[in-house]
Amino acid sequence: MTQELGRLLRERRNALNITMTTAAESAGMSRLTWHRLEKGEPGVALAHLAAAAEVLGLKLTMRVEDAGAPSDAEGHLPLQIELAKYPGLRTLAWQVGEHVDALTPREAFGIYRRNIRHLDVGALTDEELQLLTALQQVFDEVLPGV
């Protein structure tokens, strides 16, 4: 729950001229729980938020974002890192064999970390440099020469 979401609930309730007590009773929750929703306090159940949205005539939706390339957002990593997309990593990951097509971010970072001295950073693609930057941010470790 965020303060911004709480503010939106409060504004909508006020625009509909509904008291907090009436809204809470209509949603089947206590006035205190409704108050916590509007304050944006953490720990309020998602079911309460859904009930509040329904009472206010709002539609609550969820969005699942694609775990695409790290370039989509700074520090963003896919769940699986495809070796074919990152030639430097593929070269360093010779020991995993040709039957492995992807690694987890933790596995990829471990390979980069152990073998960074063998990597020609200047020859990496922009996409692989972005991957390295994202891995360093996520694992909070700076690799030398990158």
Give the CATH number, domain containing residue 44.
Answer: 1.10.260.40
Q: Is the pLDDT of residue 75 over 80?
A: no
- C-alpha neighbours within 13 Å on the C-beta side of residue 128: 21
User: Which helix or strand (DSSP H or E) is residue 129 part of?
Assistant: helix 126-138
83 with 45, same domain: the answer is no
Answer yes or no: are the C-beta atoms of 127 and 77 closer than 8 Å: no
Has residue 103 been placed in a domain? yes
82 with 133, same domain: the answer is yes
pTM score, two decimals?
A: 0.49
81 with 134, same domain: the answer is yes
More confident residue, 127 or 70: 127
Instruction: Locate 94 and state its tokens.
Output: 């010779």
Looking at residue 96, its pLDDT comes to: 83
Q: Is the pLDDT of residue 27 over 70?
A: yes
Has residue 116 been placed in a domain? yes
Going by pLDDT thresholds of 50, 70 and 90, the confidence category of residue 1 is: low
User: Which helix or strand (DSSP H or E) is residue 39 part of?
Assistant: helix 31-39
Total residue count of the chain as it appears in this document:
146
User: Can you say how many angstroms the Cα of residue 45 is from the centroid of all Cα atoms in its chain?
Assistant: 20
Angle formed at CA 74 by CA 71 and CA 76, multiple of 5 degrees: 75
Looking at residue 65, its pLDDT comes to: 57
10 with 48, same domain: the answer is yes
Going by pLDDT thresholds of 50, 70 and 90, the confidence category of residue 71 is: very low
- Give me the residues paired with residue 103 across strands: 81
Going by pLDDT thresholds of 50, 70 and 90, the confidence category of residue 24 is: very high
51 with 74, same domain: the answer is no
Has residue 124 been placed in a domain? yes
Best CA proximity match to 111, nearest among 122, 127, 100, 123: 100
49 with 108, same domain: the answer is no
Looking at residue 131, its pLDDT comes to: 93
User: If you average pLDDT over every residue of the chain, what do you get?
Assistant: 86
Answer yes or no: are the C-beta atoms of 16 and 54 closer than 8 Å: no
Q: How many domains does the chain have?
A: 2
Q: Is the pLDDT of residue 67 over 80?
A: no
Has residue 104 been placed in a domain? yes
90-124 pLDDT per residue, tens = 999 988 877 889 999 999 999 999 999 999 999 99
For residue 15, the enclosing domain spans: 3-55
Rounded distance between C-alpha atoms, residue 34 and residue 28, angstroms: 10
